Amino acid sequence: MQEYYHSVTLDKEKCMGCTNCIKKCPTEAIRVRDGKAHIIAERCIDCGECIRVCPYHAKIAVTDPLSSINRFKYKIALPAPTLYGQFKKITDIEKVLVGLEALGFDHVFEVARGADFVTEFTKRQMADSDSPRPVISSACPAIVRLIQVRFPELIPNLADIQSPMEMAAQIAKEEFSQKHRVSKEDIGAFFITPCAAKMTAIRNPVGFDRSSVDGAISILDIYGPLSTVMRENTPSKVPGRFQNATFRGVAWANAGGEVDSLDMDNHLAVNGIDSVIKVLEEIEGNRLSDLDFFEGLACIGGCVGGPLAFENSFVAQTRLKKLIHKMESPKPLSPREVDDAIEIYNWRLDKDILPKPVMKLDDNISMAIRKMEEMERIYGDLPGLDCGSCGSPSCRSFAEDIVRGYASEFDCIIKLKEKVRILAQEMIELSDSVPTGREGRAKGEEEPYEDK
């Protein structure tokens, strides 16, 4: 496995070298060099902000094609609840699930059901743990990575519980293999995703070794074929064959769904990565110490706002709310079911989440101090426009890039212009000075003044 796999990548052909993405990236992970954007792999958290902002659609999220499910003998679809909000006039979740079956899956297991389990695990953990408060949800993979890169002090606050997607995959595979007496090796579980970071989380999990999910298919890719089969399918199938998540699990698709399901007083839910960063800064400064639980979602509106969702996020959000309001909820999990799940499944993150000190100037602190001083000196000489023309997101990060050896002072167009002006001045001065000891005049030169 690659150390830095990323779903978010650049289509070099389409990149015009503009500076939209570098300015929007929350971890300053993009630079424009030689007319093309470059993503710094160590810093990228796959939040998808650059995908949204790129006017040339040069930033893309790589996911698996639908055909990739054929690698497995048995195929299970794990739809994110966001999927339900993509369809106009949706009244019945089962219709979407049956549609997925018609696309070639042997079984469909709702990730919302996984969320129902995660809610119960979180409640239990909150009740008997003395972990630092607030506990921060680890459900959004972009936020987990953001914390590794920008808020390493908050790593101990992350809930060490698997995501709804992972729980859904574990449970679906276990149940399917029991029921049909087949080996788990032959079962492939595929997440139907609105999210690029989830794809990365499958390939390169944080907090545990190997994902139980075998691939991710983007909602954008599956929307067309799925809506076609949904139109053609006659709704004659047995109702409730696949649907088993409660309305609370489904509500996780919208921002605030997770905290609502926890039934807790001191909680806070924030969505949109810029807003999440502001609140994490508050938490880091110990200014929200009366908070018990924090849900931060990178996308505006929550998962419905994911870069791979088809429908406008506000429309999808409203549709989901209506659906949840009307839906006849399957029975909530019994304490017994939760106990059993705790026995059977790997529901905790069992590996340490490590900080990614990518902002660090040098491993040696003396060296780092020297570089920092150099950086301050360079920064003091820069125009402070933060224009991005040099290819770095701000004058400060440009100074940092120079110190790190990735850029040079004259990549700054203002500095370059200044230098050109000085050089031009010098050239005029040079051309004005007549070499001494030269007798004659060049052609076209005026008569020198006569000595009086």
Partner 1 sequence: MTRKDRMNSSMIQVYEIESGNFTKAGEAAGNIKKLLRQLGIDAGVVRRVSIAAYEAEMNMVIHSIGGIIKILIDPEAITFKARDTGPGIEDIELAMKEGYSTATDFARELGFGAGMGLPNIKKCSDDFIIKSEVGVGTRLEARFNIST
Interface contacts to partner 1, rule CB under 8 A = 152-153, 281, 284-287, 355, 357, 359-363, 365-370, 372-373, 376, 400
- Phi, psi dihedrals of residue 77, rounded to the nearest 5°: -95, 135
Q: Which is nearer to partner 1, 286 or 433 (CB)?
A: 286
The two structure tokens encoding residue 417:
């212009």
Structure tokens at 136: 């921060």
Q: Is the dihedral of CA 270, 294, 354, 306 positive or negative?
A: negative
Q: How far is the CB of 44 from partner 1 (least distance, A)?
A: 18
Please identify, using beta-carbon distances, which residue of 16 and 354 lies nearer to partner 1: 354
Minimum gap (Å) between residue 267 Cβ and partner 1: 19
Considering the complex, what minimum distance in angstroms separates the CB of residue 422 from partner 1?
30
Cβ contact 59:431 at 8 Å: no
Provide the minimum distance between the beta carbon of 14 and partner 1 in the complex, in angstroms, as a whole number. 33
Which of 359, 427 has the CB closer to partner 1? Answer: 359
- Indicate the residue among 333 and 353 with the shorter CB distance to partner 1: 353
User: And the tokens for 8?
Assistant: 């978010």
Report d(CA 417, CA 254) in Å as an integer: 50
Minimum Å gap between C-beta 320 and partner 1 is 35
Q: Residue 266 Cβ, how far from partner 1 at the closest point, in Å?
A: 16
Give the separation between CA 69 and CA 214, rounded to whole angstroms.
Answer: 9
Of 128 and 363, CB closest to partner 1: 363
Helical segments of 135-180, H only:
141-150, 164-180
CA–CA dist 255, 100 (Å, integer) = 25
Give burial (CB, 10 Å; 0-12/13-18/19+) of 401.
buried
Choose between 11 and 373: whose C-beta lies nearer to partner 1.
373
Q: Is the CB of residue 368 less than 8 Å from the CB of residue 361?
A: yes
Residue 290: CB minimum distance to partner 1, A: 11
φ and ψ of 115, to 5 deg: -65, -35
Shorter beta-carbon distance to partner 1: residue 173 or 356: 356
Label residue 48 left, alpha or beta by phi (over 0 means left) and psi (-120 to 50 means alpha).
left
Whether 154 contacts 136, CB under 8 Å? yes
CB 107 within 8 A of CB 95: no
Give 322 or 404: the residue with its C-beta nearer to partner 1. 404
Measured from the CB of residue 356, what is the shortest distance to partner 1 in angstroms? 11
Q: From CA 206, how far away is CA 192, in angstroms rounded? A: 20
Nearest to 213 by CA among 102, 63, 44, 98: 63
Length of the chain: 452
Q: Please, which residue, 111 or 399, has the CB nearer to partner 1?
A: 399
Question: In the numeric block, which tokens belong to residue 202?
Answer: 């499958």
Q: Would you say 104 or 132 has its CB closer to partner 1?
A: 132
Nearer residue to partner 1 within complex by CB, 366 or 431 = 366
Q: How far is the CB of 378 from partner 1 (least distance, A)?
A: 14
- Nearest distance in Å: CB 367, partner 1: 8
In this complex, which beta carbon is closest to partner 1, that of residue 12 or of residue 377? 377
* Spatial separation of the C-alpha atoms in residues 116 and 121, rounded to whole Å: 9
Phi first, then psi: what are they for 120, rounded to 5°?
A: -65, -40
401 sits in which H/E element:
helix 395-404
Bridge partners, 78 (sequence order) = 191
Task: Provide, rounded to whole angstroms, the least separation between the CB of residue 244 and partner 1.
Answer: 42
Rounded to whole angstroms, the Cα distance separating 46 from 200 reads 7
Which residue is associated with the tokens 């919208």? 254
CA 180, chain centre distance (Å):
36
